[in-house]
A and B are shown apart, each in its own frame.
Chain A
C-alpha cells in the first residue's frame, strides 16, 4: 500500500496549482438553517436548531456553524405553520429548512417543511398543506391489521396506489441515474422526469448529485384482475453493484385482506419489464426522505396508479 498525506500542517498534498485570482471562479457559499422537533402525542420531547455556512473553493470546503438570522427566521415561521397543522395523537417529527447556495449576489432561498407522522408502526412524510389529508390516509391504512398469509408476489399483478409507483421508480431509475448507470428500456407510453442537481443535507456535508423530484406520467389501460394493492412503502434501497432494488412494503392488500409487510427485490431490468399499465391522474406520494451517504433529503414523488407484473 502506498500512502500519501492529504494534509500536513494545513497544506494539502493534493492541491492543484492555483491560477491567478482573475481566472479563478469565486468560491461558492452555501448557508443553511434547520429547526427540528419531535412530538409524542402532543408533548414536545426534542428540539434542535442547526445552522452553518460552507465555503467551497479549489482547496475544499471550510464549514462553520455561523448563523444567518434571515434563514433562522424562515425556519421559525415554517415551524409555526407545522405546529398548526400537526396531529396531537401521533408521533410527529417536524423539520424546517432554509438554505441559500449562491456564488453571486443572487440570493435564492430554498425552503422545505417536512412532517413525518407515525402511527401504529406506519409513517408518512407530508407538509403543512397536505398534513390533514395524508394523516387521514395513514389512519385509514392503519385501521387494518395484517390478516392474510404472506404470498409470493411473482406472477400476481401489483397495483401501486397513492402514487407509490414513484418510490419503485425512485430506486430503479432515479438512483441509477445518480450513479450514471445506463438507462433501462421503459414502456414507450411511460414518461419519468427525474431532474438531478448537486444537493447536501447540511453545511458540513459534501454536495452530491441527487434527485430533486420524480414525476411519472403516461397512460396505458389497466385490465381488472385479482391483484396486490400497494398502499404504503416503508423504505427502499438501490444496490449500485448489482443494480437491484429492494422495497419494504408497509401496507398492501390482497383479496380484501391486509398482507403482512414484505419485500420486493428485483433487478431494475426486471422492474422495467414488469410495468404493464398506468392510468389516472398523477398522484402525490406522501413522502420520500431519501438517504444516501448519510445525507437525508426530501424528494418530491408523483405517479399515477401503475400496474406491474413480475415474472
Chain B
C-alpha cells in the first residue's frame, strides 16, 4: 500500500553572516521497499514575524546557524503544523571548540570557555554533567524512556511506548522507527551542588565517551569522561535537538 506524505515549509536562517530564506514543498511516497520524493507545487506557509536572535559574544565564533521555521505536514488524511527555533553555535578558545545547541546555554558555555586552560586533565571520579551533555549522551545510554508529547513523522501522537514512532526530519528522508523525546529517570534525583561540573560539549559523544569542559572551583579545563555508573539524575529536564529529541537533566556520575 502506498503511503504518501506532503510537507510545505519556510525557514529563515542566519548562517555565519548570511541571511537565507528558503521556501519549498514536496511529496514523498513509500510503495513497498521503494521510497521516492520530489518537489510538488503548493502554497508554502510564511512567517510574518520571523525572529532570529543573534548572540553577540566576546569569544571567537567558528560557526553560527540560527533558524526559525514553519512547516505544514500531511499524511494519511491528517495534517499538522510545527514551528521551530534552532541554534547551532561552535565557539573557540585556542585549540578548544565548544558546541552549543540551545540559546539558554550560550552565555554560560561562552563564559566557561573564555576561562579554560588549554591543558587536558583527567576527569574527576565524581562529577555532574549539565543537561546539554546528558542530552547528547541519551541516544547511547541503555534504559532510556520515551516521553509523550508532539507528533511523529507519520502524524501519530508520540506516546510513551518506546520505539513505536517514526522519525522523519525531511520529506527527502525515508522515515525510520526510532525512539523520540528520550529521557532517563533514576531513583536518585538529588544532585550534589559541590561536585565539579561538566558544562560544555567539546565534541559529539563517541558511544559513552564524551569530551567536555569541566568547571572545578576556579579551574576550567578540557577532559574526557567515560560514563560508567550513574548516581543520580535530576527531575528537571530541558529539550535538546539531538537525534529524535532528547531531554537533558543534571546527571551525577
Q: Which residues of A contact B (CB under 8 A)?
A: 1-10, 12, 14, 43-52, 59-65, 67, 203-204, 206, 241-242, 293
Against A, the Cβ 8 Å flags (1 = close, 0 = not) of B3-44 are 000000000101110111111111000000111111100000
Instruction: Knowing A46-B34, A60-B21, A242-B95, say if A67 contacts B39 (CB, 8 Å).
Output: yes
Q: What is the bound-complex CA distance between A177 and B38, given in angstroms?
A: 36
- Residues of chain B lying within 8 A (CB to CB) of residue A6: 14, 19, 52-54, 66
Partner of B24, one of A43, A46, A47, A64: A64
Of the listed residues A1, A8, A12, A52, the one surrounded by the most CB atoms of chain B closer than 10 A to its CB is A1
B12 touching A7, Cβ below 8 Å: yes
Partner of B19, one of A2, A7, A47, A203: A7
- Report the minimum CB–CB distance from A42 to chain B (whole Å): 13
Task: Please give 9 more A-B residue pairs, beta carbons under 8 A apart, in addition to A3-B54, A49-B37.
Answer: A5-B53, A7-B19, A9-B49, A45-B33, A49-B38, A60-B19, A206-B18, A241-B94, A242-B95
- Report the minimum CB–CB distance from A131 to chain B (whole Å): 23
Instruction: Knowing A46-B35, A50-B39, A60-B18, say if A8 contacts B172 (CB, 8 Å).
Output: no
A63 touching B50, Cβ below 8 Å: no
Instruction: Knowing A44-B34, A45-B33, A49-B37, say if A62 contacts B51 (CB, 8 Å).
Output: no
Q: What is the bound-complex CA distance between A9 and B26, given in angstroms?
A: 26
**SS class, residues of chain A in contact with chain B:** strand
- Report the minimum CB–CB distance from B47 to chain A (whole Å): 9
- Report the minimum CB–CB distance from A7 to chain B (whole Å): 5
Q: What is the bound-complex CA distance between A1 and B58, given in angstroms?
A: 9
**SS class, residues of chain B in contact with chain A:** strand
Instruction: Knowing A2-B56, A50-B39, say if A241 contacts B18 (CB, 8 Å).
Output: no
Partner of A1, one of B21, B22, B56, B94: B56
- Report the minimum CB–CB distance from B209 to chain A (whole Å): 16
- Residues of chain B lying within 8 A (CB to CB) of residue A51: 39
A5 touching B51, Cβ below 8 Å: yes
Q: What is the bound-complex CA distance between A43 and B32, given in angstroms?
A: 12
A65 touching B19, Cβ below 8 Å: no
Of the listed residues B25, B37, B38, B95, the one surrounded by the most CB atoms of chain A closer than 10 A to its CB is B38
- Residues of chain A lying within 8 A (CB to CB) of residue B94: 241
A45 touching B35, Cβ below 8 Å: yes
**Any chain A CB within 8 A of the CB of B168?**
no
- Report the minimum CB–CB distance from A206 to chain B (whole Å): 5
- Report the minimum CB–CB distance from B238 to chain A (whole Å): 18
B52 touching A5, Cβ below 8 Å: yes
Closest residue on chain A to residue B12 by CB atoms: A7
The 10 closest A-B pairs by CB, nearest first: A60-B19, A65-B24, A49-B38, A2-B56, A65-B39, A1-B107, A6-B52, A63-B22, A204-B22, A61-B20
A48 touching B37, Cβ below 8 Å: yes
**Any chain A CB within 8 A of the CB of B97?**
yes
Q: What is the bound-complex CA distance between A14 and B66, given in angstroms?
A: 14
A241 touching B54, Cβ below 8 Å: no
Closest residue on chain A to residue B37 by CB atoms: A48
A62 touching B21, Cβ below 8 Å: yes
B20 touching A60, Cβ below 8 Å: yes
- Residues of chain B lying within 8 A (CB to CB) of residue A60: 18-21
